[in-house]
Chain A
C-alpha cells in the first residue's frame, strides 16, 4: 500500500498500471488510531462522493490517478492520489484552523466560519492537553492572537489573568466571560482573593476556570471583540471564551486513559553574592568582612514540585442517546514545602434525541472537589522567600529548619529566628506555623431542551447552576511576628465559609426564514435570559479594628470561641469576631435578538440587539439599557475570479457596543453597625448611575492560499470603554467621604495576525505550523476630567505606585528616579548618597507585541509539538531586587564592592565630580523598601520555549488497544531571551494592580513530564 499526496502525483504516474474504474475501499482513522465515521470522501474535480460508515470505512468507484479528497469537521482536509487499487488507509490530523469551518458563537450557536463578520480563534481540546498545566487557561498562551495570559506567581492552584485585547476597566474586572456549552459560568476565586498591595500576606484565592479538567474539553473558542460577544451582554465586554465540552459519540464505545507525571523546578533564582558575610553578629545585612564561600541556603528549602494527573473517560452511545463520563484526579505539590493541591473532577454528559429526532435533550453534570494547602503568600508578609533570600550570606540556614525556639511567657514555643523584622520570618516557621488551607466543592449543572418545530424554526430552553462552596482559613500560630499576627502574642486566625451560586436560564427561538428567492437567506434568533448571582457565607477574623488586631485568648487554640472580641484595656467592646456575612444577590434579565442576512453566499450582514435589566441599576430612573452590533462580510472568491493560488478570501467589518452592569450597592448605600454603634455611610448615593459601555470597531480579512495549505488572517480593532464607574473623593464639606461618577475613556487599538502553514508531505511526515501575532496599544484618553480627576491609583507601596493617568496607558508604574543635573551627572551627597526625585512613570509591563509560533511534526509513529512564545517590549520592576541590594546579599552589591565601589557619573554638593561610591552606601540608598525604583526597571521582553511534547505511538494494530501513545513533555523549558531577574510574565496579583512587579514572587517553574494516552 502506497499513499502519496498530490504533490507526488507526477512521480506516482510512472507506476500506474490500470486506467479502468475500480472499486476502491479504505478506512479513515484519526491520529490516535480511532476510526472516523461520517468523513466525506470525494473525487477531486467531480461530484462523485460518499461518506465513511460507523466503522470509518468507505467504498468509492475511482480509477488510478484520481485524487480523493477527505474532509471532516475538526480535521485537516486531506488529498490522496490513488496509485493502485489496494485498500487505502488514511489518517486525518486534527487541526485548529479547520475547526473554524464551524464556529461556536454566542449562546452556543454554531455558524459556518464564512458567515461570521468578526474574528474568532478556536483551539482544540487536544492542544490544551498536549502538555498539561494545572490551570487550563495557561495552555492558551501563545496559541491565540490577542490573548495575554498572566499566571499568578503562587504556583500550583494559582489563578491566571486573561486579557483579550488589553485592559479597559478601571474599577472592575478586565477578564473575559467564560461560557460552557452555551451558558456562562463563574470565574470567581475564594475569599482569599488577590493581593492588593506590596505587603501581600494572603494566600492565593484561585479562580473558577482553573477548576476545570482540560481532558473534558472538546474545544475553546475565543470571541475577542465586542461584535462576537454583544449577544452575551453584561460581563462579555471583555470578550468571551466559549468552551464546548466532550460528548459521547454514536458508534463504538471508547475508553480513554491518560496519565501524566510532571516535575517542577524553579526556573531561576536571584543572583546572590558569596564574597562578603554578615555585617556583624546579629545583623540582618551582609555588608561584613570577606568570606570565601557561602552555603546554598535555597537548596535547603525548595523541593521538586510535581503533578500527577490521571484521567479516565468513557464515551459511547447509539444514534439516539450518547454518554460521556470522565473522572480525573490531580495530585500536585509545589516547590515550597507544604504547598499541595488535590483535585477530583467528575463529568457526566448525556445527550438524547426523541420524537423522531425533533427533540434533543442534553444534560451535563460536573462535580469538582479541590483542596489547596499552604498556597504561598506573595509580598513582604508571611512569605518564606523573604527570610530565605535575605539570610546573611555565609551563614548556614540549616539550623533554623528547627523552627521552634524555647517556650515564651505564654507557655508555647517561640519562633526560632535571629531577626526581628516585619519583612522576614523563619521560612520553615511560615510554612508550618503560618498555614492556610482552602477547600472548594463545586457543582456545575447544565441542561437544555431543543425542539425543532419545523424545518426552519426551533425553540430551545436552557438552564444551568454553578454553585461553589469555599471553606478556607489562615492560622498564625503564637510566636508569629506581631505585625502579622495579633499583638497579644497568642496567635490569630481568620477564615471563611461561603457559597456562591450563579443561576442562568434562557429561552431562544431559532429561525431560518424560508424565502422564495434562492439568492437571499435570512436566519436568526430571538430570546430572553435571566442570570442570578447569589452569595451567602460567614467570615471570621481577629477583630475588626486595625491596627489593633485582637488575637486568640488561649495560645494556638483555633476555635471561634477563643478569638478575643476586644483588646485588653480597651475603652469599647468591638463587636463580634464573626464578621462580613456575605449575603449578596444580583440579577440581570435580558431580551435579545439577532438576524443574519446573506446574499448568494458571498455577502453577509449580521445585526444584533440586546436589552439588559440589571438589579445593580435599582434606584436609578431606568433599570435597563440596550446596545446593538452590526457586521458585514464578503467572500471575495465567490464574488470575483481570483488568482488560482487564492482559495478563500473574506473581508469583514463590524461595529458593536457592549454594556456592562455596574457594581452593586452604589445607588443606595446603607449604614453599617460597628463597635456597638452605627456609623452613617460616608459614600454618596449615585442615583444617576449608568452602565459601562465598550464600543468596538473591527475590520479584517481571512485568506487561504494553495489549496488551504497556507492561511492568513488579520484583524484591526479599536475599542473605547466609557461610562466607567470612577470612585472619587468628594469635597469634605459635602459631608461624604467617597462617591462614584460615570466617566473615563480607555482606548485599545491593535492588530492581530495569524499565519498558518499546513504541510502534509507524506504519510511518513507532516508539519503544521502557526504563527500568532498581536499588538495592542492602550491609551487613557480620559479618567474623569469633568470633575478634575486625571488619574486613579490602582495600588501603591512605599516605592511603587500603579496609576492610570490621562495620556498614559493602563498599568503604568510610577517610581522614584535619581536626580541628575543638566549635564546628566547624578546629584550626590558628600558621601555619595544619591538624591531621589519625585514619582515619575518608569515602566509599563504590557508587551508592545506578542508572537507565538506553534508547531507540530509527525514522522511515522513519532510526533513533536513545540511552542515558542515571545512577548516583546514593556518594562517590569523588581522590588525584590531592590531589597536584596539593600541587605547586601545580591550579586550586584558583592561585585560592586569587590570592584572598589559603584562607578557613577555624579557630582557632590561641592560641585566636584564623584566617580565611585561605596557599595553599601549606594545600595542602601537606592534599594530597600523606599527604593529609587527607577534603578530597578528591566525589559519585559521574554522569548521562551513554552511547551514541547515528544510522542511515540506504539503500533498496536489488532490488539485490544486502539491506540497507545507515550509522550515526553516539558513546559517553560528555555528562555531564549530574558533580561529581568524574574519571569516578567508571572504576576503578584491577577487583579488590576501589581502588574509587572516582583515582590518576592515565587520563581517561575520549569517542568518536565511523562504522559501516557491509552484508548481502548
Chain B
C-alpha cells in the first residue's frame, strides 16, 4: 500500500487524496451518535428509572417468578414436606420430590429465581442508584424484602451466597448460615431504625403508596413486619444459639412500633397475574390436600377446614359416592402414576379462599402470637403469658378466616385428636394417627407437650405458607407429619427423620463449582436431603 500512496503523491494528486481524507474523516468523526443508536429507545436507562416503579416485581418475586415458579420453587418442596400439599400427579417422572428424589430443575428454580429477579437486581441496580442514602425509608423496605427472600433460600439449602451477590458473572462464594442470620439481623436493625426515624419525622406519610403491593406504603406496618420477622428468625436459633435467639427475640418483643397483632397487619403480597395457589389448584389441577393436615383438621374439628379445602368431588375422579362431601387428602410418596387416579380428592379451596385475585400471605399476626407463646414458654422477657398468647393466636387465625364463631368451642376441646389416615385408592398408604395432641391448653402439661400444642396450632394457622412451616417442623419435630410412603432416596434421607434440606442445583456445580464445593464444606455433610442445616441440631427442644 505504501508504494501506492507514494506514487499518487508523486503525480501531484495530493489534492484528490486530501479530498478523500476529508470524506473519510468527515465520516469517522460522526461516531458521536453511536451511543444513542445503540441504546434501545423503547427502554429506560438505569439512571432514569423511577425507584418506586421497579419495586413491585421485587415484592412479588418473594413468592417466586410468575407462571409456574411458585409450584416448583416452593409448593413441590416446602409445602409438601410441611404436610400441607400433595400433588395428585407425578409430573411425568416416577422419581421426584414426592418420594425423595429431587428433581434438579425444581431445585434450580427454588435456588435461582429469587437471586436473579430480586436479590441480584437490588444489589446491582437499585443499590447502585444511591437510594440507601437518598431514600433511607425506601431502602429500609428493600432490606426487609431481602431478608424475607434470602431466608427462604437459606432455610431450604443451608449455606448459600448472600454477601457477595452480584459481584461476578462466573463465581459467587457461599456464606455460612450463621453469617447469613447475622446479616439478616443487622439488616433488620438498619431497616427498623430508618423506618422509626422516618415515621417520627413524617407521621402518616406514605410516599410509597402506589408502588407497594404488600402494605400500600404504610411504613408502620412494614415496621411491625420487620420486628415480627426478627422474632421469627430468632426462634429458628433455639437449638444452635439460644443466647442469640433470646437476645434477638427480646429486642423484637420490646421493639418500638410493635409486632403484627391483628389480621389486618398480615404481610400479604398481591402477586403478578393470578394467585399461585389458585393457579396450581384450579388451573393446573396439581395441588391437593396432604393427608397430614387433613387428618389433623378433620380430627380436631377445625372450623377452618372448609375454608382451607374443598370436600371430595366424586365427579372429578374415581372416588366412590360414600366419600362425597368428606375431606380426604393424599399421603406424600404414594404411587400417583397417572392423573385421574387421585383426582377428586380435597384440594385447596380455590372457590372462596384462594381466588385468582387473592393476596398471598407470608406472615400473619397469628404466627406472631404463637411465637410469643413459645417465647413465654422459654421465659423470655416481654413475651407475656403462654396460654394467653396461644389462644390469641387461634382467635386471630379464626378471625382472619371469618370463622370466629367456632373459635371458643375449638379452644375448649380437650378430647378431639388427629384421625387415622385411610387412602380409598390404596390401602397400603393407610396409617394410624401419629399425634394425640388436643387443642385445649393444659397448664399442667410438660414444656414439650406445650410446645407441640403451640407449634401444631401455629402450623394450622400459617397454612398455606409451607416454607416457614417446614422450617419449624425441622426445628421442633412438630406437628407429627406422616412419613413418605415410598422413600426412593437410596438411604440418603431417613423416612422417620424426614427430609432436612434440598440439594444444591447441578447448575451450581457446573458453573460455580469451587464455590459450591466450599459451600458443601460449610454445610458439614454431604449435599443431599439428609444433611441437617446449621440451626437444625439433633437434640431436644429444651
Contact = CB atoms under 8 A, between A and B. Distances in A.
Interface of A: 453, 457, 459, 507, 509, 511, 513-515, 522, 524, 526-528, 530, 545, 547-548, 569-572, 580-581, 583, 585-587, 589, 591, 593, 595, 607, 609, 613-619, 623-624, 664-665, 667-673, 675, 677-682, 684, 729-737, 739, 787-788
A735 B39 contact: no
Given A591-B24, A732-B112, A737-B116, A664 B49 contact: no
A395 to B, nearest CB: 28
Contact of B50 (A668, A678, A731, A735): A678
A681 B54 CA distance: 10
Contact of B37 (A524, A572, A591, A615): A615
Nearest to B118: A735
24 contacts: A509-B20, A513-B11, A522-B7, A524-B4, A570-B356, A614-B34, A615-B38, A668-B35, A670-B40, A670-B43, A671-B44, A672-B43, A675-B272, A678-B53, A678-B54, A680-B124, A681-B43, A682-B120, A730-B170, A734-B166, A734-B167, A734-B170, A735-B120, A735-B121
B34 A623 contact: yes
Interface stretch (B25-33, B238-246, B298-306, B440-448): B25-33
A571 B511 contact: no
A500 B212 CA distance: 41
Interface string B165-176: 111111110000
A528 B41 contact: no
Contact of A667 (B16, B38, B172, B507): B38
A735 B28 contact: no
Nearest to A590: B27
Contacts of B161: 733
Contacts of B53: 673, 677-678
A500 B429 CA distance: 65
A591 B26 CA distance: 11
Contacts of A623: 31, 34
A733 B511 CA distance: 11
B8 A731 contact: no
B430 interface: no
Contacts of B24: 528, 591
B120 A595 contact: no
Interface in B148-194: 161, 164-172
B263 interface: no
B96 interface: no
B385 interface: no
B101 to A, nearest CB: 17
Contact of A677 (B23, B54, B166, B356): B54
Contact of B4 (A513, A665, A682, A737): A513
B13 interface: yes
A788 B41 contact: no
Interface of A is mostly: mixed
Given A459-B16, A548-B273, A609-B1, A665 B38 contact: yes
A733 B115 contact: yes
B294 to A, nearest CB: 29
Contacts of B121: 680, 682, 735
A581 B270 CA distance: 29
Given A593-B1, A668-B39, A734 B168 contact: yes
A589 B120 CA distance: 38
A618 B30 CA distance: 12
Given A668-B38, A675-B272, A680-B126, 7 more contacts: A569-B355, A589-B28, A619-B38, A677-B211, A680-B121, A731-B172, A731-B511
A585 B8 CA distance: 38
B123 interface: yes
B291 to A, nearest CB: 31
Contacts of A453: 16
Contacts of B116: 682, 732, 735-737
B169 A730 contact: yes
A736 to B, nearest CB: 6
Interface residues of B, number: 75
Given A524-B4, A613-B28, A618-B38, A735 B356 contact: no
Contacts of B166: 733-735
A671 B35 CA distance: 16
A589 B112 contact: no
Contacts of B66: 545
A787 B511 CA distance: 8
A684 B44 contact: no
Contacts of B168: 731, 734
Contacts of A733: 115, 119-120, 161, 164-166, 172, 512
Contacts of A522: 3-4, 7
Contacts of A671: 43-46, 49, 54
Interface in B483-515: 507-508, 510-512
Question: 10 shortest A-B CB distances, which residue pairs?
Answer: A735-B120, A670-B43, A732-B112, A618-B38, A733-B172, A618-B34, A730-B169, A735-B166, A615-B34, A732-B115
Contacts of A616: 38
B31 A589 contact: yes
Contacts of B1: 593, 595, 607, 609
A742 to B, nearest CB: 14
Nearest to B109: A732
B169 A670 contact: no
Nearest to B54: A678
B169 A679 contact: no
B56 A684 contact: no
A670 B37 contact: no
B136 interface: no
B271 interface: yes
Interface string B80-120: 00000000000000000000000000000001110111011
A278 B172 CA distance: 59
A375 B53 CA distance: 42
A51 to B, nearest CB: 33
Contacts of A547: 67
B247 interface: no
Given A681-B43, A731-B512, A589 B272 contact: no
Contacts of A595: 1, 4
B217 interface: no
Contacts of B30: 589
Contacts of B50: 678
B274 interface: yes
A459 B13 CA distance: 12
